[in-house]
Amino acid sequence: MSEGDPAAYEARPVPTVWRRLRTVAGATRTPRRNRHLANLLAFIAGALNSVGFVAVSVYTSHMTGLTASVADHIVLRSWGLVRIGLIAITAFVVGAMTCAVLFNWGRRRHHEARYATVLVLEALLILAFGALADQLTWRHRDLVFVAVLCFTMGLQNAIITKISAAQIRTTHVTGMVTDIGIELGKLAYRSRLAGQPPVTADLPKLGMLAGLVALFFVGGIAGAAGYLAMGFPVLVAPALVLLVVAAPPLVADARSASARREARDAAS
């Protein structure tokens, strides 16, 4: 087995906590690591979405609703709401674009932190937002809040899409609830035609999707309740958790770069 083979990695002795953290957001992916990261991101997305709604009455991950809202408010000539919707959609798209740029930059250079770089950026944005948003007194601060939260949601949705090959989403639940319904339909189906292969539900997929929806829901409760209790600083704790998870691959890349420099210096 090669050094980068996930099976070879899993066959090693029980890893340290640092190695476990490194693998959650590292370049080598497995379904298990994807699930672990998706669980964390679903909770954070639920919290951010609820904080955005309680604070500025906008679901910052709901691009379908925002697009429909822009169309409706154009007809109603509610130009202020049209502006908010357009800012939200634009910020989400720019967040996804930023993810693609950072990811491809790291992938071309074979960085261990090709995914983690995006997550670190997200963590730092959430951390700064949670710590500083209450200090902003500009009368149009709602527009800043919407832009930052939607940009962050665009980053997160794009990176989990990259990590899972478009099989997992964490910032919205429409697709996940649809897939849950499909799997439940398969589970309930009883074929009465002889000689036909059975219809079987994918129970691991059903469990994963149900877990992600539940974590998004719990994150929403925690975000809304926390915001009402303490304001935007409620976001500091999840930002720190995400930063701890995302930082190890960056450290690994920094050490690799340092080792290469030392090798070049020794050779010269």
Confidence band, pLDDT 50/70/90 cuts, at residue 19: low
Contact status, residue 69 vs residue 81, Cβ threshold 8 Å: yes
Count the Cβ atoms, other than its own, within 10 Å of residue 80.
9
Query: Angle, nearest 10°, between helix axes 116-132 and 236-267?
Result: 140
Confidence band, pLDDT 50/70/90 cuts, at residue 58: confident
**2 three-class SS:** coil
Instruction: Supply 239's token pair.
Output: 């930002």
**Which residue pairs from 161-164 have beta carbons closer than 8 angstroms and sit at least 24 positions apart in sequence?**
162/99, 162/103, 162/115, 163/29, 163/34, 163/37, 163/115, 164/34, 164/38
Mean pLDDT over residues 44-52, rounded? 91
Contact status, residue 180 vs residue 87, Cβ threshold 8 Å: no
Mean pLDDT over residues 51-72, rounded? 88
What is the pLDDT at residue 127?
93
Q: How many CA atoms lie within 13 A of 227 on its CB side?
A: 22
Instruction: Supply 4's token pair.
Output: 């980068």
Confidence band, pLDDT 50/70/90 cuts, at residue 15: low
Answer yes or no: is pLDDT of 14 > 60.
Answer: no
pLDDT tens sequence across 96-141? 999 999 999 988 888 888 888 999 999 999 999 999 998 888 888 8
Rounded CA-CA distance 87/129 in Å is 17
Q: How far is CA 161 from CA 59, 137, 233, in A?
A: 20, 36, 28
Angle, alpha carbons 65-46-222 (nearest 5°): 135
Angle, alpha carbons 68-56-232 (nearest 5°): 135
Which residues make Cβ contacts (< 8 Å) with residue 176, sequence separation at least 6?
Answer: 169, 209, 212, 213
